[in-house]
Chains A and B, each alone.
Chain A
Amino acid sequence: MNAPEWLDYIDHTGDAGILLRAENLRQLFERAAWGMFSVLTNVAEIRLVEETRIQVGANDLPALMLAWLSELNYRHVTEHRLFGKFGIRDINDRMIVAKVSGEAIDPDRHTIFTEIKAVTFHGLRLEKSDSGWEAQIIFDL
C-alpha cells in the first residue's frame, strides 16, 4: 500500500514512526490517527460500519496528541477493533471530541502487522509550518 503524499514513515532501529503534514490542527490529528492505523494494518481493508464517539483531554498539545492516539490504540487492543476514518468535531489544545469509524477485527480479512506498546513522547513534534502543521510521532513496538 502506498502512503498518501502527506505521510512519511520513519525508519527507526527499534520502533516505528510517522511524519505527517496537514493544513490545520483538526486535519493533523485526523491524519495522525490514520497514520497510526496504517502502521498496524492495511487501512483500506477496514470497513467503516461502526461509529464511536471519543473524547480526550490533556494539559498541552503534545500531551493531547499522545492521549488521542493512546485512546485509539487502547480501544483497538482491548475491544479488538480497527478504525479507518476519523472525524474530529471539536478540538483545542486541551481537548478533542471525535467520531471515529471502523469495525471489529476479522482475522480472515485483516492482517495486523504489529503491536504498538505505546505512543511515546520520544521525538514527538507538533509544529506550525508554512503550509499549516507538521507532526512527528514515534510508536514503541
Chain B
Amino acid sequence: MQYDVQKVTDYLWELAPSGGMRVPARIYATEAMLPQILSDNAPQQAANVAHLPGIVKASLAMPDIHWGYGFPIGGVAAFDLESGVISPGGVGYDINCGVRLMASRVTRQQIVPKMRELVNQLFRDVPTGVGSAGGLKTTVSQLRRVAEQGARWPIENGFGSEADLAHIEENGCNARADAAQVSERAWKRGEEQLGTLGSGNHFLEVGYVAEIYDAEAADVLGLVPDQITVIIHCGSRGFGYQVCSDYLDVMDRAVKKYKITLPDRQLACAPISSTEGESYLGAMRCAVNYAFANRQVIAHRTRSAFEKALSMSREEIGLRTVYEVAHNIAKIETHTVEGAQTRLCVHRKGATRAFAPGSLEIPSEFQKIGQPVLIPGDMGRYSYVLAGTSKAMLETFGSTCHGAGRAMSRVKAKKAAGGRNIIREMESRGIIVRGQSRRTIDEEISEAYKDVSNVVDACALAGISRKVAQLRPLGCIKG
C-alpha cells in the first residue's frame, strides 16, 4: 500500500486530509521505523478514523501502531462531546487491559536464589491460562458491585489495602459505571474469572530495576537499582470482551439510525450523547472497573505468594503499588483545543495516558514529575517506566505508547520456536518462566515482538513521554 506521508518533524509524520478525512492522521515514529509501519494496513486505519464525526485535531498513532479492529492498535482519537461519536473499536475487546507496577524492599541479590520457588508459588496462586479455574467465585450481586466499585470491592473484601487505590488510574474505580447497561452474557462470562490472568500476551513478571534514566523521577517513585519489581499485565477478561461484542452489535445498528457514513464497518459508533453512546459508556466503565478489581485481586495473591516463597513478612517484602495504567479505554477529559478548555471523549486503544506534571488527576506526590507510565516489553528483554509531559498534553491529548507490538504471527512464532526448549533457553539467560501451555510460550518468544526500546525511544525523542527507568525480568508466569 502506498501512503503520501509528509514529515512534520524527525519523529512525527502526517497523512494530510483527503477524501472523507476530517482531520489529518499523525504517526509518531522515527524514520527507521516508518517502512515497517507503512507496510501494513494500520496507517490506512488511522486515516479511516479521521473520517469519524466530531474528531478533534488529528487521528493519532503511537510508534507501536499496528493493525487492529477498525481503529489501529496504538491509536488515540478524541471527539467533541456534542458533535462526536464513541466507538467500541476505539477501546478494544479487552477493555482496560492495563499494567500495574509494584516495587518492593527486596533486592535482586536476595531473590535470585529463591526465584524458582517464587515463580512456582505464583503459578500456583495466580490462575493463568485458557479456561483457568481458581478465579474468585462471585454471585451476580457481588459481580454487580465489582462493576460499580472497581478495585474498592476487593479491598473491602480483604484483598489489599486502601493505599493501592490512590496509585491506580482513576483511583481504581470509575464512579459512573452503569451496571444496568451490561448484558446477561457479559455477567455470565465474568462470573468465574475475577482474579485470573488469562492467556496470550498477559503475564505476571518479577523483575528488577536495571537502569535509571531520570534520577529525580525515580526517587519520587521510590525506584532504586536492583530493587525487585512486579508487573501485572491483564484486563477485563471475558466480561470486557462480551461488553465490546454486545456494543459493536448495538453500534452496527446505530450507524444506520444516525446516518453515519463509515469507510469501514468496524468503526461502528454512535453519537456520544445518544442513548446508545451513553449505554456503551456505562457498560464500558463496568468493564474498566472489573479490570481494576481483577488486577487488585492478582496483586493481593502476588503478595501472599512472595511471603510464602521467601518466608518473609509482608512488611519486610514491602510490595507496594507504584502505579497502574489502562491502555484500552475511553475517557471524558478536558484538554486545550485552539486555546479553549474543551471536554472530549478520548479513545486510547493500545495507548496509555501520560499526563504532565501538575495534572490534578494524578497523585499529589507525582505532580512534580508527571504521571508514571508503564510500558511492558516481551518476556525476554525489558520493560520501561516513563513519565508524562506537557508536550503530550499539547500534541496527543496526554497520551503515549503502550508496548512493543507483535512482529511475527503466532504461526511463524511457533515455527521459529519449533525444536527449541524455550523455557530452558530463558533459564540459561537467568529468567524462570512457567506457562500453562508450551504453545503460548512458543507464541510469546522475544523474536515474535518488536523491540520495545525503539518504541519508547521514539516517544521520548518526540517529547510525549520521558524515560525514567528500565526493568529486566527474572521470572514470569503466563497462560
Interface residues of A, Cβ cutoff 8 Å to B: 9, 11-14, 16, 59, 63, 70, 74, 77-78, 80, 105, 111-115, 117-118, 120-122, 140-141
Contact = CB atoms under 8 A, between A and B. Distances in A.
A13 B253 contact: no
A118 B130 contact: no
Nearest to A41: B130
A133 B244 CA distance: 29
Given A78-B189, A117-B94, A140 B131 contact: no
Contacts of A77: 131, 189, 238
A77 B411 CA distance: 23
Nearest to A123: B266
Contacts of B185: 74, 78
A135 to B, nearest CB: 16
Interface of B: 40, 66-70, 73, 93-94, 130-131, 185, 188-189, 198-200, 238, 241-242, 244-245, 248-249, 252-253, 265-266, 406-412, 437, 439
Contacts of B245: 70, 118
Contacts of A9: 411
A118 B241 contact: yes
B409 A121 contact: no
14 contacts: A13-B406, A13-B408, A14-B409, A63-B249, A78-B185, A80-B131, A111-B437, A112-B131, A113-B130, A117-B93, A120-B69, A120-B266, A121-B252, A140-B93
| Smallest CB-CB A-B distances: 9 pairs | A117-B241, A11-B411, A117-B93, A115-B130, A112-B130, A11-B409, A78-B188, A118-B245, A13-B409
Contacts of A105: 131
Contact of A140 (B69, B130, B411, B437): B69
A68 to B, nearest CB: 13
Nearest to B443: A114
A114 B200 contact: yes
Nearest to A71: B185
Contacts of B67: 13-14
B253 A122 contact: no
A14 B450 CA distance: 13
B93 A118 contact: yes
Contacts of A118: 93, 241, 244-245
B189 to A, nearest CB: 6
Contacts of A114: 130, 199-200, 439
B247 to A, nearest CB: 11
Given A11-B411, A13-B406, A13-B408, A122 B266 contact: yes
